[in-house]
Structure 1
């Protein structure tokens, strides 16, 4: 943590869930539509690493996806631009389109989105049913989610951008298998995951998604804005499987601790942004939560970490 540059609270804007929940829930569905395109156009990688979105200099993007159509081989990338508030479609052949991000229903967004793909000559089958939700509504039938607050969409991206910087620095101290820092559109969170290298026992009742995601022992850290009923933006860290005694471990900073209901360590976003150096507080959480979980799970830390 020595020498870490701090931007202070100004770079970490307020993100009170109740003030932008409608926009967040709409964006969640929009990112799922784009994410399902990525799922359809990319080959399966371990732990579903082929499907997430990535933080960009202006928002969230897919990176280049291979596409073979009537015009031959090409690549496509799609980006949510939360600076200009546009959705960009770009192809390696030079074709490009952009549509404005504005308040509209998920059904209308989905229709417009599919129309853009058709105009670009991209024919891709997208499953219209959202993932990882208690009461999903098909994209083409969803007139409930229809909000877009430009200010809060941009705040969300700014938080993701600052968080991604710290997550990348956190990753440099680990020599074992570690994921990219990526945005999972199913759960609407930014995450980075470390692996012990050992297979994990099968999870009881796991579906195909969970079986692939948790095939090996992991310690995962991330940020999510408060969706799913939690109601507050927070950073988290969990181990899967959960080692015995982890719930009793003490971590830093003082505001962080074990959430019994969630079964993971939690540090609320407001407790980070209120610090003189939010970056230092977040790194302290990541390092101490990882150390507690790795020790409890008896990972070979001497072999896995940069000494």
Structure 2
């Protein structure tokens, strides 16, 4: 089977609802996990059934929140076998907040999240947002299917770097799947200014030079997109020849429409070329030590040659 079609017009309202739901689960993880550099402690992960917080350890024991996007349910599980679940269906952010909070509390956990959404203009508190949200099961399943195609490409890209590199994880602030390479050098202080996100969080996230890439569903641009950027962007970066990508000045990023990748004879190859060339431009123009940082792409069962 080929990569799934993503219809943003169909996904848009369901996606906005899922975005708020993911923020609540992510904020719960954030509230109970020691801070890791670059906010890596707050992310969600793509798994065969959907999205998960992974295990979160607290005073009440170990809990996990899973968005099962195949069965369209949320499961909160506890060490020892405890399980609470409820259906993913049309509902408001306030209704989801209530259901998730009760599920966590039923297993002995504390649902003490920051009450406002992050990185979006409308910061209506979750518990006060009673706007009805649709739940288009087919659109959600297509998005999850796309993530399952993208993750292994990102994972292979991640193996070709000896320096510090992030996991492949989903940032619920902008609902983007991301992977980031680091030069190892400090970066100038980030100016901040991201809506409803403390500047100190942004500055910590961008404390060191990065070449980052990812995928987001399309809010603000009207279609699903891959992206790549550097911080700080070196001189000439915007003019670098990136296969299939185009520079968008307002974003400060190269973008590659998901639809173009899907339509290609070799979607994985097109996406891999975009990732590698965008990184190469950032590293070459930024003076990264590529001889020390780069390595061959990893292969299953084959030890990396030294």
3-state SS of paired residue (1:84): coil
3-state SS of paired residue (2:38): helix
1:269 aligns with 2:258: yes
Structure 2, gaps ≥5 residues long:
194-198, 297-306
3-state SS of paired residue (1:90): strand
Alpha-carbon distance in 1 for matches of 2:192, 2:24: 27
Alpha-carbon distance in 2 for matches of 1:304, 1:89: 40
2:271 corresponds, among 275, 279, 282, to 282
Where has structure 1 moved over 2 Å in runs of 4 or more? none
| Cross-structure match for 1:41 | 32
| Cross-structure match for 2:300 | none
| Cross-structure match for 1:297 | 286
In the TM superposition, residue 274 of structure 1 has moved relative to its aligned partner by 0.3
1:75 aligns with 2:62: yes
Q: How does 1:224-235 map to 2 (within 5 A)?
A: 224-227=216-219, 229-235=220-226
**TM-score (norm. length: structure 2):** 0.93
In the TM superposition, residue 11 of structure 1 has moved relative to its aligned partner by 3.7
| Cross-structure match for 1:4 | none
2:21 corresponds, among 13, 30, 49, to 30
Alpha-carbon distance in 1 for matches of 2:32, 2:192: 28
Larger RCO: Structure 1 or Structure 2 (Cα < 8 Å, ≥ 6 residues apart)?
1
Q: How does 1:200-279 map to 2 (within 5 A)?
A: 200-205=187-192, 207-227=199-219, 229-252=220-243, 255-279=244-268
Alpha-carbon distance in 2 for matches of 1:122, 1:17: 36
| Deviation digits for residues 247-267 of structure 1 (CA, Å, limit 9, x no counterpart) | 111011xx3121122111110
In the TM superposition, residue 205 of structure 1 has moved relative to its aligned partner by 4.3
| Cross-structure match for 2:153 | 166
Aligned residues: 291
| Cross-structure match for 1:17 | 8
Judged with a 3 Å threshold, the aligned counterparts in structure 2 of structure 1 residues 200 and 235 are, in CA distance, closer, same or farther, namely same
Alpha-carbon distance in 2 for matches of 1:33, 1:201: 31
1:103 aligns with 2:94: no
1:195 aligns with 2:186: no
| Cross-structure match for 1:157 | 144
In the TM superposition, residue 134 of structure 1 has moved relative to its aligned partner by 1.1
Alpha-carbon distance in 1 for matches of 2:191, 2:274: 29
3-state SS of paired residue (1:285): helix
Judged with a 3 Å threshold, the aligned counterparts in structure 2 of structure 1 residues 118 and 126 are, in CA distance, closer, same or farther, namely same
Alpha-carbon distance in 2 for matches of 1:108, 1:155: 25
3-state SS of paired residue (2:209): strand
In the TM superposition, residue 77 of structure 1 has moved relative to its aligned partner by 0.7
Structure 1, gaps ≥5 residues long:
1-9
| Cross-structure match for 1:147 | 134
- Indicate conservation of the 8 Å contact 2:90/2:132, yes or no: no
In the TM superposition, residue 145 of structure 1 has moved relative to its aligned partner by 4.9
In the TM superposition, residue 204 of structure 1 has moved relative to its aligned partner by 2.6
| Deviation digits for residues 180-211 of structure 1 (CA, Å, limit 9, x no counterpart) | 00000011000000000000011234601111
In the TM superposition, residue 79 of structure 1 has moved relative to its aligned partner by 0.6
3-state SS of paired residue (1:198): strand
- Indicate conservation of the 8 Å contact 1:106/1:139, yes or no: yes
In the TM superposition, residue 16 of structure 1 has moved relative to its aligned partner by 2.1
| Cross-structure match for 2:301 | none
